[in-house]
Amino acid sequence: MAALPQSLSLLLALPSTSTSPRPRRPAPLLSVLRAALAAALLMLGADALAASEPAVAPAARTPATISALRLIGEQRLPWRMPFQGTMVGGLSGIDYDAVHGDWVMICDDRSEHNPARYYRARLDYDLQAFKAVQLTGVTTLLQADGTPYPSKDEFARRGGAVADLETLRVDPRDGAIWYGSEGDVSLDLNPFVRRAGADGRLQYELPLPPLFDVAVDRSRGPRNNQSFEGLGFTPDGNSLWVSLEGPMYQDGPVPTPDRGAVNRITRFARDGKVLGQYAYRLDALPATPGAGKNADNGISEIVALGDERLLVLERAGVQDDKGIYHNYVRLYEVDTDGATDIAQLSTLQGASYVPMRKRLVQDLNQAGLARVDNLEGMAFGPRLANGHASLVLISDDNFNHQQVTQFLLFEVLP
């Protein structure tokens, strides 16, 4: 991204004139200046995106074909592990940073335990074993005015955006961090996809069509906690796919044990132009929840295999009579060939369209694991010694002692 003039950078960093110990609101003039400068910052980021050239394409890590997966091993982190002044948990997205040779992981803490953040880690593995996970750093993600994202309580006092961060990707062009938030219907906060520098400072926000605006009356738009959950760059780095977790209100009901549902996956150019949008058929719930208990099924993550092909992580959580959740996780390869572009369809109910083709690659509950937890993140890593791709999955423990932070390593069989 082009550098800001020093005078503008200093203005963005100016403190509020208030002396109150409460969270401070900027003085009116300073607030206007900050808003204008933040907009200039985002515009400079957009210009830099258009001008940059690919530096680290993920194509070398992306397999051309996937016939099956072979489990190599598993690692876990301790519950609520302390690290550099933060509480580790809620890891809902992961990606490999080829420039630095390490991994990044997004945390979905809504700034309740610590400010919204992402972690860096080293994963030690080879073709025979998954040996260790070592955290190496943590970075606070910042809003346009340079402040951390607020918690819900802070939002009520000073505004901003409560970030529910569920996915992230390393920009294959320059190593910047792209991340997605589900928004919050009850707070009238829209989902977003944003790009930050490695230092956490906001550089750019992907323009989105009004289709993704939330509606407090829940008549349309994304469902609460079922919005942007997956993000993936195409192997050439020129476009990115974004997936909803579940169906939007106007597109029909959520899955039940008797029937599936449908949601949308969208391919964007870097400037926000919609290059295509397609219907994805979610499976029916794989089990019946206990009386009065909860269950859901949706897309937890995606990785792009090409312009028209994706690997989709579909995960269901079903609560039994005792209130314990059981997770059911499947990996599907999907293809847009022959599918209808539904970008102009305001609702899918009653509409005529052809959904994406879907092929089961792996049922994780049949992979020989002692436990399948709330898997939400997925990324290809370095090639293994035999030339095959490696695939890492990570689980979100929701900071819950009944769950675990689980890393799974697979060899991708072509």
> Phi then psi for 355, rounded to 5 degrees?
-75, 170
Residue with the two structure tokens 């509950």: 365
Tell me what the mean pLDDT of segment 268-278 comes to: 98
Say whether pLDDT at 162 is over 70: yes
pLDDT in tens, 219-257: 999 999 999 999 999 999 999 999 999 999 999 999 999
Tell me what the mean pLDDT of segment 276-305 comes to: 98
pLDDT in tens, 293-349: 999 999 999 999 999 999 999 999 999 999 999 999 999 999 999 999 999 999 999
Cα–Cα distance, 145 to 143 (Å, whole number): 5
pLDDT score at 60: 86
Which two structure tokens, joined as six digits, stand for 266? 């969208």
pLDDT score at 254: 98
What are the E-state strand segments in 261-320?
A: 261-269, 274-282, 295-304, 309-319
111 — pLDDT class (breaks 50, 70, 90): very high
Give one DSSP letter per residue of 133-164, joined into a string.
EEEEEEEE-B-TTSPBPP-HHHHHHH-S----
Of 260, 238, 243, 255, the closest CA to residue 294 belongs to: 255
- Host H or E run for residue 6: helix 6-13
Give the CA radius of gyration of the chain.
21
Say whether pLDDT at 187 is over 60: yes
Residue 288 three-state SS: coil
Judge whether 263 and 278 are in contact, CB under 8 Å: no
Cα–Cα distance, 331 to 315 (Å, whole number): 9
Range 52-413: architecture per CATH: 5 Propeller (2.115)
Give percent above pLDDT 70 in the chain: 86
Cα–Cα distance, 36 to 159 (Å, whole number): 17
Give one DSSP letter per residue of 336-398, joined into a string.
-TT----TT-S--TT----PPEEEEEEEGGGS--S----EEEEEEESPPTTS--EEEEEE--T
Amino acid present at 238? N
Residue with the two structure tokens 């190496």: 136
Judge whether 147 and 115 are in contact, CB under 8 Å: no
Angle formed by the axes of helices 6-13 and 28-51, nearest 10°: 130
**Secondary structure of 7-74 in the HEC alphabet?**
HHHHHHHCCCCCCCCCCCCCCHHHHHHHHHHHHHHHHHHHHHHHHCCCCCCHHHCCCCCCCEEEEEEE
- Identify the burial level of 113 via C-beta atoms within 10 angstroms of its C-beta, where 0-12 means exposed, 13-18 middle and 19 or more buried: middle
Say which residues have a Cβ less than 8 Å from residue 342's Cβ, sequence separation at least 6. 264, 277, 278, 279, 348, 351, 353
Say whether pLDDT at 41 is over 80: no
Gap between the terminal Cα atoms of the chain: 37
Considering the entire predicted model, what is its pTM? 0.88
Say whether pLDDT at 43 is over 60: no
57 — pLDDT class (breaks 50, 70, 90): low
Q: Higher model confidence: residue 129 or residue 17?
A: 129
Q: Which of 50-64, 185-199, 228-242, 399-413 has the lowest mean pLDDT?
A: 50-64
Tell me what the mean pLDDT of segment 364-385 comes to: 97
